[in-house]
Structure 1
Amino acid sequence: MDNQRKDRRIKWLILLIPTLTIGLWEYVRHAFLLPYFSMDLGNLLAPFIVLAVTLTLVRSLFSRLEQSQQALQREKGANAALEERERLARELHDGISQSLFLLAVKLDQLDEMKTDGPVRDLAAGLRETVRVIHEDVRQAIANLRLPPSPAAAAWVVPLRELLGETAEITEAQAEFIWSIPDKSLTDKEKVELHACLREALINVRKHAKASKVFVIGETDGSGGFRCAVEDDGSGFGSDPMHAPGRFGLRMVRDRANGMGWTFHAERREDRTVVELLKRGGQPV
């Protein structure tokens, strides 16, 4: 609301300044300068005076108005991103999370039945799988409901915490290397990067058996960036994009393609790398 009032004042000033300038010039000319300026010369100078005022005061006001409009658009984009995150969190909670809970209850009922060893073992394995998936969904809901802050790299904090949790669970060494200025990323880029890097970290936690894990974010010096999750684990074994039951990296690839980024998931020397690249000057 304050920005809207400010914008209205700027618009009124833009409209009134040329009129006030002419009025003030005519008053000064008739009151003080008439003995020194002829009417024709005064009329000739009037448009140049208005032009000079326009190029100074009015141009500055237009610049401030444009900045205010850009800030308003950024705020609307941030609010839209927050609303989308909240909608996704509700869908996860009301859909997948509730279904997993009911499935866990049914598995408990199956376990209480008088069944033989193989069936009981299968139920226990399924229950553990459901527990892990349910925990992932709960964490996704919590991350979606965490409001991104305009403070420097505040949105990266959950990734750093997830890296620490991954290192603790897998007993691996972890290093967080991040040098991308927060202001160089749009709200949409932050949301997509967070989702992609989080999925890559969860993939490391579940499958890599790594002793070292790295999260890297760096600029390329021309407005682009490189973000990656690297580990020294067992690798993919086969093409991760076609492995049965492995959907996480495919979703990362689809998100990257939707943003126009380059996606790599491959083995490089002694490291497995999941990488996102944005070229300098590339539109969002």
Structure 2
Amino acid sequence: MDNETNLTHPLPDTITTREQLWTLIGGVSVRTKILGIVLTLTIVLGLVVTWEVRTVMQHNLLNELELLGHAYITDLSIRSVAPLKQGDLPALRELLTETVANHPDVRYAFIVDVQNQVIAHSFPDHVRDELLNLTFADLSAQSLLHNYTNTFDPDGHGHHIHFENNEGHIHEFAALIADDGGETLRVGLSEARLHDIINRTTWQMLLTTVVVGLFGILAAMLLTWVLTRPILDLVTATERVRQGDLTVRVPHWADDEIGALADAFNQMTCDLEVSHRAIEEKEAARTRLLAQLINAQEEERKRIARELHDGVGQALTSLLVGLKILNQHDDPAVLQNKAVELRQVATETLENVRLLSRQLRPSALDDLGLAAAVERYLGEFSKLYPALPVDFHADLPNRLPSTVETSLYRIVQEAMTNAARHSDATALSVLLTQRNGQVQAIVEDNGHGFDPEGAARSGSSVGIHGMFERADLLGGQVQIESSEEGTTIYAEIPI
């Protein structure tokens, strides 16, 4: 069970190390990440290329050194035949010395006989014993001898060995000068110049890597500046937007993804600014509407109190006086006339109370629906504005929700009142329709029109703002089209 638990749960140390690594990588800036990537790639690429070039050069130069060794020993063996047969040892020594002097890779050259005795050499004094002691058998035992097919000696008497001494790595090439005498020519070539070339090339490539790395760092810094400058501008602009400054805009640096991001950010801030301005205007309009509604409410209360006091109150007072007079007369004719007067006063009082009730809340709206309530309101409207005829059409097959009926009734009422009071219209039409899950109310007049946007900005018309608010609360909308030929108000609310 313990083993299963250990297998199913990762080690905390491994998770912690991974999290620490990602935290370290994610904790640095984008500029540092780009610089690190460029610098790492430059160093790794430079080292890999340098190592590869060094390896290839070493292989090629060793092959070249081997070919040179074959060429030198072939040339010397041919040129040594005549002096050797003539016994001209000074000429033979001069030939070997000039060969060493004229070829920097050649360290020594000497000729030995069959008994391994030196006949001629290029050394200043004598041939060192360790060179003479390098025999075929010794080298084979030390695994230092590499056999090859002698291209210049058909009998295969040549050999090539390499060994280490105090001068470095030495390649010795040996070949018989002539088959009849048995003399052997031995030439030693050093790898010193080869390694010097390789080392100088390596240092040059490393220096080139450093220079390229410096240029890479400069290019990366320029690249990071080009990449991060727009991002930093976006960060600064975002901070200003967070603080409430919606006028901030970022420059369009290039036609790439960052440029598209800058354009999207600018469009977003522009839309936010428009929305914020619209919200501020709407809030200001709502504040004005609330204040004016409170004033209108107080005025309506005063009007109702005045109507009750002046109309209903006086009528009831007249009724009380008339009833008192009835008690004081016994004449049937006088009583009958007085009763007729009192009945007339009571009827007028009842009508005033009903009118006041309809003004507050039309009962037909609750009992019969929107079309009947608007049609009944048209009767009262015609009494108030007899010079303004109204053409009314309604196509509402079903009853609407109470909130929709109330909102549309108030919108139509406000539109008709505005047309009668302010437009100097001579004709007015009202249309109510229901289709495709929407109910529409259209009120149109032939008045002189007005500026709807100017009226909305100035806040002078609380009624217009109230129409927009009523439709907006129910997910609908109100559109106003006005010109010198008249005004049309479209109200649409979903059901």
Quickly name the TM-score band, shorter chain normalised.
Answer: 0.3 to 0.5
Larger Rg: 2
Q: Which has the higher contact order (CA 8 A, sep 6+)?
A: 1
* TM-score of the aligned structures, taking structure 2 as reference length: 0.27
* TM-score of the aligned structures, taking structure 1 as reference length: 0.45
